[in-house]
């Protein structure tokens, strides 16, 4: 492992010497987080009072109440149980609740039969985000309930909106997670580009002539990429916590997600780099794709007022999944676990490993051509 460590240290020294990469890794994301937080920070905090009328009285409607009152939403959603549609309407119009959900009789039957469910969602006109969140909660619950009817009961519940603990949705927190994920990919890209440059310049071939075995050389290179990614994420997490008071949630799952996100960033950038003819072209291609993925993954705009399609697109992109995972953990505060972010973990880890495997095969062919 001495050879791997030597290679890793050399690569880290090169990364540290690259002032542009350092700016991209730390300074730019922090500045952007601050600027975007200030520019788009109109809705600085969020706390929703929700009136719920259970007119169905079924097990499913009780489950909905439990779902809304679950620990991760405590401090964000305050439930006020009412007994009629009129009472729900009154709660909203009198300003005692920002939103209301009325589960009409037949709610459970309709849900199980996959018919349109009789649910009324009421929201205060001056709280469009509350309306959106209420609707999202209901949709979320129904998709889970439908799934549990046919599959397993332990399915993870995907949260819909990035809510920071304590019931406050702060734009700066949103951008802290978003910029961390976005610039993690760019930071790792500069490392992957350096690896491609080694193939282009022939230094990798010279390395292969040393006593180090190829797998050890790759291990050294990979370790450097991982360390760069981990350090970048750690700096972002610590800096946003200190500067903006952002809480990222339960440390253990955050660390696990940071790990798979770094893997995702390496796999994603290595995949696109391997499709190119050389390092320059690869960096250009990967940069464009990363930027597009960030747009599609919803990393540039906070969710308020965006169409639902962004929710779907967000889940289809690996960076969006990483971002979703971090915001879910933040929303769940100290109660978040690996289970909370199972989907983001699987997607980011899977994309990472697949991308690395693909790039390794392509790199092997490129080396054979170089010889």
Binding site for another protein (CB under 8 A): 2-3, 6-7, 10, 13-14, 17-18, 201-203, 205-213, 368, 371
Burial of 85 (0-12, 13-18, 19+ CB in 10 A): middle
The whole-angstrom separation of Cα 123 and Cα 129 is 9
Q: Which is nearer to another protein, 200 or 343 (CB)?
A: 200
Give which of 292, 297, 290 is closest to 327, Cα–Cα. 297
Q: Which is nearer to another protein, 142 or 223 (CB)?
A: 223
Q: At what angle do helices 342-370 and 251-275 cross, to 10 degrees?
A: 30
DSSP code per residue over 99-110:
EEEEE-TTHHHH
Q: Which is nearer to another protein, 154 or 209 (CB)?
A: 209
To the nearest whole angstrom, how small is the minimum distance from the Cβ of residue 4 to another protein?
A: 11
To the nearest whole angstrom, how small is the minimum distance from the Cβ of residue 227 to another protein?
A: 17
To the nearest whole angstrom, how small is the minimum distance from the Cβ of residue 367 to another protein?
A: 9
Q: Which is nearer to another protein, 70 or 206 (CB)?
A: 206
| Chain-centre distance for alpha carbon 103 | 31
Q: Do 44 and 171 meet the contact criterion of CB atoms below 8 Å apart?
A: yes
Q: Which is nearer to another protein, 116 or 368 (CB)?
A: 368
To the nearest whole angstrom, how small is the minimum distance from the Cβ of residue 152 to another protein?
A: 49
The whole-angstrom separation of Cα 351 and Cα 354 is 5
To the nearest whole angstrom, how small is the minimum distance from the Cβ of residue 272 to another protein?
A: 23
The whole-angstrom separation of Cα 225 and Cα 228 is 5
Q: Do 321 and 347 meet the contact criterion of CB atoms below 8 Å apart?
A: yes
Q: Which is nearer to another protein, 40 or 207 (CB)?
A: 207
95 C-beta neighbours (distance < 10 Å), count: 10
100 C-beta neighbours (distance < 10 Å), count: 28
Q: What is residue 46's DSSP assignment?
A: -
Q: Which is nearer to another protein, 113 or 205 (CB)?
A: 205
To the nearest whole angstrom, how small is the minimum distance from the Cβ of residue 190 to another protein?
A: 12
166-186: b (≥16 Cβ within 10 Å) or e: ebbbbbbbbbbbbbbbbbbbb
Q: Do 95 and 144 meet the contact criterion of CB atoms below 8 Å apart?
A: no
To the nearest whole angstrom, how small is the minimum distance from the Cβ of residue 213 to another protein?
A: 7
To the nearest whole angstrom, how small is the minimum distance from the Cβ of residue 236 to another protein?
A: 25
The whole-angstrom separation of Cα 227 and Cα 10 is 13
Q: Which is nearer to another protein, 17 or 42 (CB)?
A: 17
Q: Which is nearer to another protein, 202 or 251 (CB)?
A: 202
To the nearest whole angstrom, how small is the minimum distance from the Cβ of residue 364 to another protein?
A: 12
């Amino acid at each position: 492992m001495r050879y791997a460590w030597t290679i890793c240290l050399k690569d880290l020294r090169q990364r540290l010497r690259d002032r542009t990469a350092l700016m991209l890794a730390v300074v730019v994301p922090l500045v952007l987080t601050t600027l975007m937080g200030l520019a788009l920070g109109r809705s600085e905090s969020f706390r929703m009072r929700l009136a719920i009328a259970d007119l169905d009285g079924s097990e499913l409607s009780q489950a909905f109440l439990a779902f809304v009152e679950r620990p991760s939403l405590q401090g964000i959603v305050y439930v006020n149980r009412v007994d009629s549609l009129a009472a729900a309407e009154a709660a909203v119009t009198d300003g005692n609740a920002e939103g209301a959900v009325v589960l009409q009789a037949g709610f459970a039957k309709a849900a199980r039969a996959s018919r349109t469910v009789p649910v009324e969602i009421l929201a205060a006109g001056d709280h469009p985000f509350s309306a959106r969140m209420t609707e999202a909660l209901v949709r979320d619950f129904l998709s889970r309930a439908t799934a549990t009817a046919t599959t397993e009961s332990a399915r993870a519940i995907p949260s819909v909106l990035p809510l920071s603990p304590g019931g406050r949705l702060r734009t700066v927190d949103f951008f802290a997670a978003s910029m961390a994920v976005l610039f993690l990919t760019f930071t790792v890209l500069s490392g992957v580009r350096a690896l491609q440059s080694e193939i282009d310049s022939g230094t990798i071939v010279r390395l292969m002539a040393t006593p180090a075995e190829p797998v050890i050389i790759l291990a050294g290179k990979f370790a450097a990429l991982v360390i760069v990614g981990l350090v970048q994420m750690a700096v972002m997490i610590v800096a946003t916590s200190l500067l903006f008071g952002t809480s990222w949630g339960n440390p253990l799952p955050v660390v696990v997600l940071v790990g798979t996100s770094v893997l995702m960033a390496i796999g994603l950038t290595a995949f696109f780099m391997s499709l190119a003819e050389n390092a320059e072209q690869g960096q250009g291609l990967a940069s464009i794709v990363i930027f597009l993925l960030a747009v599609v993954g919803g990393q540039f705009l906070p969710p308020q007022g965006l169409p639902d399609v962004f929710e779907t697109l967000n889940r289809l992109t690996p960076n969006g999944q990483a971002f979703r995972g971090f915001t879910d953990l933040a929303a769940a505060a100290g109660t978040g676990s690996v289970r909370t972010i199972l989907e983001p973990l699987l997607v980011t880890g899977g994309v990472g490993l697949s991308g690395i495997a693909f790039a390794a095969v392509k790199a092997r062919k490129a080396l054979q051509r170089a010889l």
